[in-house]
């Protein structure tokens, strides 16, 4: 957690705001402010040098009223139980905002993946899945990729779970390679959804997305695809960054080239020469039309939100903006399309992948992308309508929709027994 922001406190504050608008029952509010299940595991892995190292991992399920829980697995050196719980809670609202039949979950292992070999990551993944196997499953809780994990890790998760089950179970995890029951369009889905949300938001801000400047923080799965699609649409991407730092060129950066030739190198995009090297903090304050934070949480805070010069922010990352920053951005008239709407494209296509796996019947990429786009636009318009109805900002409007759907489902099912 950067700058000691308690991300779970952030998520709870956002819930409390929506609860006030909805006049939510106090007891139900207390239920929704807590996760239904938190699993903490400590497990050993034999490293390549023969030594044993112990790792800490978490799987948190927040709410399952609307269906099985769903959420990514993160490998990051700085993750903890509170942050994993916040991410699970946001997943619950996100699935409800785009109206797909899931509750929210999240998993994580505290590890700096760069320090370990492929074989060590494979062993760690297989052992972690074995430790949480009692609570995941294709009808119970379905993991997916997040920071530090990718298609290969998802393949190991699927294989490990299947070995225990005694038969191949592709529906237990999404974001798999296409050859193993993955979906066309899944890898690009989050970034693609971010750009669809940006297109809709641009209409509200009178920005021409085909002729504007864009800054993207984070050049991983979400950030690189968002930057690439923005460039393809005609925008000039003037700044991008990764964990090492940021690069800037007001005339534009060649995103496809950065992705293909630089992102895989040891030095990453920093090795590109025709640019100015700046910090991630400076990147967030660059003059631009659209800022797309796509890295980690709590990047735009009370102490730096005043420096943001973008006309709108579209959150590819989860929780990049703190509640203090939200107030400042709202006062400055900067539209912020919140994470639980803007980056929902990933879980939407994960849902498509799961449906395809359960049916053993696979769709073409065009069909996936069209269905994704329709859901993103429909959800955006619903949130826009809630903004107008409740005269509030977009994050609160999205929470009002998400929390209401979950609260209604919880009460209609009834509290067991
Ligand atoms: P990734 O691991 O592929 O990429 C993360 C990127 O962020 C990398 O470029 C990394 O160098 C950079 N980064 C890490 N720490 C940083 C820091 N302190 N400052 C600047 N950059 C930093 O991860 P991803 O899957 O692209 O996820 C990025 C964000 O998007 C996360 O917040 C994640 O929760 C969210 N998200 C991901 C998906 C998905 O489908 N992968 C879906 C919804 C939301």
| Structural domain includes residue 399 | no
> Domain check: are 314 and 239 in the same one?
yes
Question: Can you give the pLDDT at residue 158?
Answer: 98
Q: What is the pLDDT of residues 45-61, one digit of tens each?
A: 999 999 999 999 999 99
The domain boundary residue, chosen from 293, 314, 342: 342
Is the distance from the beta carbon of residue 321 to the nearest atom of ligand 1 less than 6 Å?
no
Express each pLDDT in 230-243 by its tens digit: 999 999 999 999 99
Is 326 touching ligand 1 by the criterion CB < 6 Å? no
pLDDT tens digits for range 291-344: 999 999 999 999 999 999 999 999 999 999 999 999 999 999 999 999 999 999
> What whole-number distance in Å separates Cα of residue 203 and Cα of residue 231?
18
Decide if 80 contacts 325 (C-beta within 8 A): no
Domain boundary among 138, 172, 206: 172
Q: Are 324 and 213 in a shared domain?
A: yes
pLDDT at 159: 98
In a domain, 88, yes or no: yes
pLDDT in tens, 75-119: 999 999 999 999 999 999 999 999 999 999 999 999 999 999 999
For residues 6 and 152, state if they share a domain: yes
Residue 180 Cβ < 6 Å to ligand 1: no
Same domain, residue pair 193 and 49? no
Which residue has its alpha carbon closest to ligand 1 atom 37? 146
**Cβ–ligand 1 contact at 90 (below 6 Å):** no
Residue 4 — very low, low, confident or very high, per pLDDT cuts 50/70/90?
A: confident
d(CA 334, CA 300): 13
Name the domain boundary from 322, 342, 362: 342
Q: How far is the CA of 147 from the centre of ligand 1 (A)?
A: 5
Per-residue confidence band for 181, with pLDDT thresholds at 50, 70 and 90: very high
- In which residue are the tokens 């690439």 written? 228
Domain span at residue 73 reads 2-14+34-172
Whether residue 329 sits in one domain with residue 235: yes
Strand order in the sheet with 37-46: 37-46, 52-63, 103-110, 69-76, 141-145
pLDDT value of position 245: 96
Q: 365 is written with which tokens?
A: 């990429």
For the chain, how are helix, strand and coil distributed in percent, rounded to 5?
Answer: 50, 20, 30
- Quote the pLDDT of residue 1: 41
CATH classification of the domain holding 6: 3.40.50.10860
Q: Is 316 in the pocket of ligand 1 (CB under 6 A)?
A: yes
> Same structural domain for residues 164 and 241?
no
**Calpha distance 150→229 (Å, rounded):** 20
Tens-place pLDDT, residues 160-172: 999 999 999 999 9
Domain identity same for 166 and 223 = no
Any domain includes 164: yes
* Phi then psi dihedrals of residue 157, to 5 deg: -65, -45
Q: Is the same domain home to 99 and 168?
A: yes
167 & 194 share domain: no
Instruction: Report pLDDT digits (tens) over 372-413.
Output: 999 999 999 999 999 999 999 999 999 999 999 999 999 999
Q: Whose CA is nearest to atom 2 of ligand 1?
A: 147
CB of residue 239 inside a 6 A radius of ligand 1: no
Nearest-CA residue for ligand 1 atom 35 is 317
| Mean pLDDT within 348-361 | 98
Q: Which residues are catalytic?
A: 106
> Is 20 a member of any domain?
no
Residue 260 lies in a domain: yes
* pLDDT-based confidence at residue 2 (cuts at 50, 70, 90): very low
Q: How much distance in Å is there from the Cα of 233 to the middle of ligand 1?
A: 22
Question: Among positive and negative, which fits the CA dihedral 27, 28, 34, 38?
Answer: positive
Q: Are residues 237 and 105 in the same domain?
A: no
In a domain, 95, yes or no: yes
Contact of 288 with 310, CB cutoff 8 Å: yes
Whether 223 is covered by a domain: the verdict is: yes
Q: Which of 142, 152, 221, 263 to mutate to test ligand 1, by most ligand atoms within 8 A of the CB atom?
A: 221
Is it true that the peptide bond before 242 is cis, omega within 30 degrees of 0?
no
Number of domains in the chain: 2
CATH code: domain of residue 236 = 3.40.50.720
Nearest atom in ligand 1 to 246's CA: 20
Coil, helix or strand at residue 343: coil
End-to-end CA distance of the chain: 38
Mean pLDDT of 272-278: 97
Could you tell me if 142 and 281 lie in one domain? no
Residue 125 lies in a domain: yes
CB contact burial 134-151 (16+ within 10 A = b; e otherwise): ebbebeebbbbbbbbbbb
Residue 266: pLDDT band with limits 50, 70, 90: confident
From CA 259, how far away is CA 329, in angstroms rounded?
Answer: 31
Please check whether residues 149 and 195 belong to one and the same domain. Answer: no
161 within 8 A of 136, measured Cβ to Cβ:
yes
- Mean pLDDT, rounded, of the chain: 97
Task: Round to whole Å and give the CA distance between 253 and 13.
Answer: 38
Q: How far is residue 25's CA from residue 19's CA, in Å, rounded to a whole number? A: 8
User: Which ligand 1 atom is the nearest neighbour of the CA of 297?
Assistant: 32
Q: Is 220 in the pocket of ligand 1 (CB under 6 A)?
A: yes
With residue 52 as reference, give the H or E element that holds it: strand 52-63
DSSP conformation letters of 202-250: HHHHT--GGG-EEEEE--SHHHHHHHHHHHHTT-EEEEEEETTEEEE-T
């Amino acid at each position: 957690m950067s700058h000691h922001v308690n991300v779970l406190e952030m998520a709870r504050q956002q819930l409390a705001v929506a609860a006030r608008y909805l006049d939510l029952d106090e007891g139900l509010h207390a239920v929704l402010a807590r996760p239904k299940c938190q699993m903490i595991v400590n497990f050993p892995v034999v490293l390549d040098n023969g030594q044993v190292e112990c790792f800490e991992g978490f799987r948190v399920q927040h709410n399952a009223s609307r269906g099985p829980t769903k959420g990514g697995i993160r490998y990051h050196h700085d993750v903890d139980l509170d942050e994993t719980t916040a991410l699970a809670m946001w997943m619950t609202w996100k699935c409800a905002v785009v109206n797909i039949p899931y509750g929210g979950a999240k998993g994580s292992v505290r590890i700096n993946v760069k320090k370990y070999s492929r074989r060590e990551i494979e062993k760690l993944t297989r052992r972690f899945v074995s430790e949480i196997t009692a609570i995941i499953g294709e009808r119970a809780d379905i993991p997916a990729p997040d920071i530090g994990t990718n298609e290969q890790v998802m393949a190991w998760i699927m294989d490990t779970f299947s070995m225990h089950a005694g038969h191949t179970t592709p529906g237990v995890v999404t974001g798999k390679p296409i050859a193993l029951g993955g979906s066309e369009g899944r890898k690009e889905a989050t970034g693609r959804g971010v750009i669809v949300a940006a297109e809709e938001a641009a209409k509200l801000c009178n920005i021409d997305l085909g002729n504007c400047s864009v800054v993207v923080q984070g050049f991983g799965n979400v950030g690189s695809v968002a930057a690439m699609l923005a460039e393809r649409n005609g925008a000039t991407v003037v700044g991008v960054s990764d964990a090492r730092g940021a690069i800037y060129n007001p005339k534009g950066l060649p995103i496809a080239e950065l992705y293909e030739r630089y992102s895989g190198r040891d030095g990453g995009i920093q090795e590109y020469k025709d640019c100015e090297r700046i910090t991630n903090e400076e990147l967030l304050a660059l003059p631009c039309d659209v800022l797309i934070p796509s890295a980690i949480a709590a990047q735009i805070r009370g102490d730096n939100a005043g420096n943001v010069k973008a006309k709108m922010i579209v959150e590819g990352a989860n929780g990049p903006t703190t509640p203090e920053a939200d107030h400042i951005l709202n006062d400055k008239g900067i539209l912020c399309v919140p994470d639980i709407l803007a980056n929902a494209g990933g879980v939407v296509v994960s849902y498509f992948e799961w449906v395809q796996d359960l049916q053993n019947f696979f769709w073409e990429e065009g069909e996936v992308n069209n269905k994704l786009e329709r859901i993103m636009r429909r959800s955006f318009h619903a949130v826009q309508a809630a903004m107008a109805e409740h005269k509030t900002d977009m994050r609160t409007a999205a929470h009002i929709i998400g929390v209401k759907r979950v609260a209604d489902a919880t009460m209609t099912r009834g509290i067991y027994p």
